[in-house]
Amino acid sequence: MRREVVDVAIIGAGPSGAVAAALLRKAGRSVLVLERQHFPRFSIGESLLPQSMAYLEEAGMLQAVVEAGFQYKNGARFVWRDKASSYDFRDKHSAGWGTTYQVERAKFDEVLIGSAAQQGAEVRFGHTVLGMRTGDAPVLEVVDESQSRYDVHARFVLDASGFGRVLPRLLDLEAPTSLPTRAALFSHVRDGLPLDASDRNKIYIATHPERRDVWFWMIPLAGGRTSVGCVAEPAFLDVPESERETRLRALIREEPTLNRLIGDAPFLLPVNQITGYTANVERLHGPGYALLGNAGEFLDPVFSSGVTIALRSAHQAVMVLERALGGEAVDWLAEYDVPLRKGIETFRAFVERWYTGELQDIIYYPHQTPGIRRMISAVLAGYAWDESNPYVADPVRRLDALHKACSNS
């Protein structure tokens, strides 16, 4: 069997794999990216958070992203019945980027991996990882589309396979998640929003008028296109494939803001459904490998945290890996797993309280204190690792206390 040797092998060419590849190339490492699919390919996760811009800049990808013509984004607008609350991410507690983009992921992901390739990463599409031998000198078993098999001997492997979750499946790393199973129906529409309307600069998160555990996203994209979806318990959205379009259309009409902005706008893609996307693992690292982004853990789409967590994981893993490749002794648990999960747990506290309604009460509270509002805005902008923010340092206690204060006033 053919044998190839590389410093770092990366499974998956999505955002975390692309950024990790670029950062490793900047450090002079040889990198091989193995991607099962061919790009461009559709993906959800279209609304970025400002925190992610710093990692794109660090990876040398910012100019390519800016020049790609994506929809500018400066915040989020929450709506429920006759209530509305907008957060401008430029007005936040944490330092750093306050604006970002809303992107068609097929184009965005292609821009990122193209940039990594331009920086010297070798990228192979249509190559599938079948197995892995872990250890200090890990080996991947790979097959291409002609069914030709070969082994990749690497000094380290990064799994950036997203929802494919290659190593968690191959190495039996899956673990129960504390979040309940949910599903999403989604598509793209041709919207009626003027191209220069300020509404296009924010993601809309709308709560169903009668069920606070059911919510919608509306993400304006470039060129008058909008991503729209509904998230709920699977049974609420469980219809035959032939009825998905009718079901999503009916749900859009039930929410006043989406009905006004989208209404009967034609679907541009078949209405798709995903179920049970929440995932977790026992650990984010092992002998000879680390898990990036959704390959390790995915919470929920409500606050668009997926890409930010993915890029943060790529940055943090490469910082540790570079030291290890340089001969230093590193502690992957203390230097990668625990710090990365700190931000994930911040997002988790917000997600859990969204579905109980507590965070919704906070967001729609009419007498918000400006300082606290900026702290909440910072987390919503992706700054979930900034422990100078009390709602990052101790999110559960702080959010519970804040909800109690809002309820008693």
Summarize pLDDT for 336-365 with one digit per residue, the tens. Answer: 999 999 999 999 999 999 999 999 999 999
Mean pLDDT of the chain: 94
Per-residue pLDDT, averaged over 182-211, amounts to 87
**Which of the two residues, 408 and 20, has the higher pLDDT score?**
20
All domains in the chain, ordered by first residue: 3-74+97-176+278-343 (3.50.50.60), 183-275 (3.30.9.100), 357-408 (no CATH)
User: Angle at CA 273, nearest 5°, toward 269 and 278?
Assistant: 135
Confidence of residue 195 (pLDDT cuts 50, 70, 90): low
Per-residue pLDDT, averaged over 225-248, amounts to 95
Per-residue pLDDT, averaged over 170-190, amounts to 87
Is a pLDDT exceeding 80 seen at residue 281? yes
Cβ-based burial of 58 (10 A; exposed 0-12, middle 13-18, buried ≥19)? middle
Is a pLDDT exceeding 90 seen at residue 253? yes
- Please spell the DSSP secondary structure of 127-170, one letter per residue: -EEEEEE-SSS-EEEEE-TT--EEEEEEEEEEE--GGG-HHHHH
Task: Output the pLDDT for position 261.
Answer: 87
- Please spell the DSSP secondary structure of 275-293, one letter per residue: E---B-BS-SEETTEEE-G
Task: Output the pLDDT for position 179.
Answer: 75
Strand order in the sheet with 183-190: 83-88, 75-80, 202-207, 215-220, 225-232, 183-190, 272-275
Task: Output the pLDDT for position 218.
Answer: 95
Beta strands in 160-197 (DSSP E): 183-190
Output the CA–CA distances (angstroms, integers) from residue 209 to 87, 177, 220, in the order listed: 21, 28, 22
- Note if the pTM is more than 0.85: yes
Confidence of residue 197 (pLDDT cuts 50, 70, 90): low
Q: What is the DSSP letter of 344?
A: H
Confidence of residue 278 (pLDDT cuts 50, 70, 90): low
Per-residue pLDDT, averaged over 391-395, amounts to 97
Place of tokens 């805005």: 377
Is a pLDDT exceeding 90 seen at residue 119? yes
Q: What type of residue is 256?
A: P
Confidence of residue 42 (pLDDT cuts 50, 70, 90): confident
Confidence of residue 122 (pLDDT cuts 50, 70, 90): very high
The percentage of the chain sitting over the pLDDT mark of 90, rounded to a whole number, equals 84
Per-residue pLDDT, averaged over 362-382, amounts to 96
Is a pLDDT exceeding 90 seen at residue 237? yes
Which of 101, 75, 46 lies closest to 199, judged by CA?
Answer: 75
Residue range 124-145, pLDDT digits in tens: 999 999 999 999 999 999 999 9
Per-residue pLDDT, averaged over 263-289, amounts to 87
Residue range 84-116, pLDDT digits in tens: 999 999 999 999 999 999 999 999 999 999 999
Query: What gap in Å lies between CA 293 and CA 313, rounded to an integer?
Result: 6
Per-residue pLDDT, averaged over 367-376, amounts to 96
